[in-house]
Amino acid sequence: MSEDKNLETRIKAIIILEVIGKPPEHLVETLEKLAEGIGNEKGVFVISKKINKSVLLKDQKDFYSNFAEIELEVNELLQLLFLMFKYMPAHVEIVSPETIKTSNNDFGEVLNELLRRLHVYDEIARIMQLENKKLMDKLKVIEEKEGDESPKDEKKKD
């Protein structure tokens, strides 16, 4: 397929990446690196990017927020989905085409990729829940041991 034909079928979207942290210069650098990474993804074409100035978060002394607006095109819906999972933008807007026509096989591929990623996240959440339970059980044992060593026991030692 020629490059010109791909131009007609590409999906154009705008994504917004948001970061929070400090120092404010680091946020700009981080957004620059993320935008560069997106541009280096296979089948992704960055049309424009706008990185804003870092702003002090309300009611915070030294935490800042910043965001970048990146206009891009992808050859396939699956590539856009991949970007959503890899870069976790705060917002995505599909600009064109108005209607996305896809085959049932391609749409099935998108759904299967979504399911695969959800299963990975579910597995991570379950592991974290088990680890949390283990830590809480250990904490209870430690608290019970400390509770057994009351001030009365210390007086007997004297």
Which tens digit of pLDDT belongs to each residue from 58-113? 887 888 899 999 999 998 888 888 888 888 899 999 998 888 877 888 888 878 88
The percent of residues in the chain predicted with pLDDT above 90, rounded, is 39
Nearest alpha carbon to residue 64 among 76, 52, 56: 56
- Whether the pLDDT of residue 156 is over 60: the answer is no
At the top level of CATH, the class of 3-100 is alpha beta
Which tens digit of pLDDT belongs to each residue from 107-127? 888 788 888 888 998 999 999
CA distances from 99 to 2, 85, 95, 125 (A): 22, 22, 10, 35
Element (H, E) at 148: helix 104-148
Q: Which of 52-56, 89-93, 107-111, 134-138 has the lowest mean pLDDT?
A: 107-111
pLDDT of residue 4: 45
- Whether the pLDDT of residue 39 is over 50: the answer is yes
- Whether the pLDDT of residue 31 is over 80: the answer is yes
Query: How many other C-beta atoms lie within 10 A of the C-beta of residue 22?
Result: 15
The percent of residues in the chain predicted with pLDDT above 70, rounded, is 89
Q: Report residue 15's pLDDT band, with 50, 70 and 90 as the boundaries.
A: very high
How many CA atoms within 13 Å lie on the side-chain side of 78? 16
Question: What is the rounded average pLDDT of the residues 133-156?
Answer: 79
Q: Report residue 48's pLDDT band, with 50, 70 and 90 as the boundaries.
A: very high
Mean pLDDT value across the chain: 85
